[in-house]
Each structure stands twice: as C-alpha cells, then as structure tokens.
Amino acid sequence: MINKLIIDALNPLNIPVCFQRYSGKGETYITFHEYFSGGEDYEDDRESLTAHYVQVDVWSKGDYANIVKNIKELLLKARFKRLNEIDLYEQDTKIYHKGLKFYYLEESDLNG
C-alpha cells in the first residue's frame, strides 16, 4: 500500500520512481524504501494506527533542487510529514544524491 501511495504521489514529476533499485538508463531518477514500520496507536490491545517511515532518494548528474522541492510538495499533499534530508555525492558514480525521510500514518488493517 505504501509503495503504491508514493509512486502515485510522485507520478506528476515524469521521472522514473522505483522501489529500492533503478535499472534504467536515465541520469535522473528516484528510488525509495521503507526503513521502519510499526504500531503507533492501539485500541483494545489492537493496532489502530500504523506508522511508515520512508526514505526517498533523488539521484541526478545535475541540479536537483526543483525536483526535491516538488517531491516535498507532492508528498506533503499526500499527507506525509517530512522528517529530515541530507545532501550526498556518490564519488564512484559521480552522481548527486539527496535523501529525504518522511513519515506516514495510516489506519491499520491488521485488525481484520
């Protein structure tokens, strides 16, 4: 569910968005992964809210400032909360890399 939500939210960017790994040829792309998920609230000893912590990574040979701005706007509109972000540079591939961490809270479907 969370993967589809991220892909759908970032679709307007017209940039490849892939879960964990990108195997295409584009010089700019986005990958993402969920690094933690857990119960956030409970009712009658059953999980009622699930927290999803995700990292969205922008990879580019050029300036990615507008892409990052648009990612934040689109994910905030989809009810994600931004936690933090970091600028990186991958020396071996000579590619710029921006990691953005977000939090998403959903009503749990674990109760059946």
CATH architecture of the domain formed by 2-107: 2-Layer Sandwich (3.30)
The span from the CA of 89 to the CA of 98, in Å, is 8
* Pairing status of strand 81-90 against strand 95-107: antiparallel
Is residue 64 a contact partner of residue 51, using CB atoms and an 8 Å limit? no
pLDDT at residue 48 in the model: 87
Domain boundaries, the chain: 2-107
Instruction: For residue 71, report the phi and psi dihedrals to the nearest 5 degrees.
Output: -60, -50
pLDDT at residue 109 in the model: 66
Query: CA dist 19 to 1, 31, 86, 112, Å?
Result: 12, 6, 19, 27
pLDDT at residue 107 in the model: 86
* Closest listed residue to residue 111, CA positions, set 38, 42, 37: 42
The span from the CA of 104 to the CA of 106, in Å, is 7
Per-residue pLDDT tens digits of the chain, which is 112 residues long: 899 999 999 999 999 999 999 999 999 999 999 999 998 888 888 888 899 999 999 999 999 999 999 999 999 999 999 999 999 999 999 999 999 999 999 987 655 5
